[in-house]
Homo-oligomer: A and B are copies of this chain.
Amino acid sequence: MPVTDVLRADLREDTRARIEQAALELFSAAGFEQVTIEEIAAAAGTSRRTFFRTVGSKADAVWGDFDGHVDRLATLLEHSGDDVPVLTAVLGAYVEVNDYAPEDLPVLRQRMRLILTEPALQAHSQLRYADVDRVVAGYVARRCGEQPTALVPRLVATATRAAATTAFEAWLSGAAPSLADALRTAFGQLAEGFPGLR
């Protein structure tokens, strides 16, 4: 790979970053539905056509590099020891993959606030979470010696992801001191089978 390819890739990432930043600000200020692609492109100093080419869709402008996120989750699960309980491993992977640097937290808050409150983004999130679920279900299946499509692996995947989402909501609303803390609380409740409610 010649040097030029790297430079050009950097250029594309630059425009991507500009677009995502502009989109995040405009969405937060005026609401997701109220902002048009044309306005985002103008704010990012580019064109409508380039917007779609670099970020794919309006919703994707909010998610950033979520595929990399999922890949990291998969790697973490792969490299977790078989001696640690399954639920603990999943919790650990969720905590570590969401261990953001303090300076990144404001942007994360902005992003998650949009995803959790804007209906269109809430709907789109299901598609992204499905990728996460597949990864987790695959891991649970491997640990249990079952098929990834069997009930328990799927259930663990969706239930833990539900716990993670709830933890995000709690963190966002200020009810939890930290994201890791909220995740541990939610997973704890889940793993105990909701004592007192049975």
**Residues of chain A having any CB pair with chain B under 8 Å:** 85-88, 119, 122-127, 130, 140, 143-144, 149-152, 154-156, 158-159, 161-163, 165-167, 169-170, 173, 175-176, 182, 185-186, 189-194, 196-198
> Given A122-B127, A127-B119, A198-B87, do A162 and B169 touch, yes or no (CB 8 Å)?
no
Select one of B130, B152, B170 contacting A194, CB under 8 A: B152
Which residues from chain B contact A87 at a C-beta distance below 8 Å? 194, 197-198
**Residues in B neighbouring A159, C-beta threshold 8 A:** 159, 162-163, 190
* CB pair A158 B166 closer than 8 Å: yes
Flag if B154 contacts A166 (CB, 8 Å).
yes
Contacting residues, chain B, for A176 (C-beta < 8 A): 151
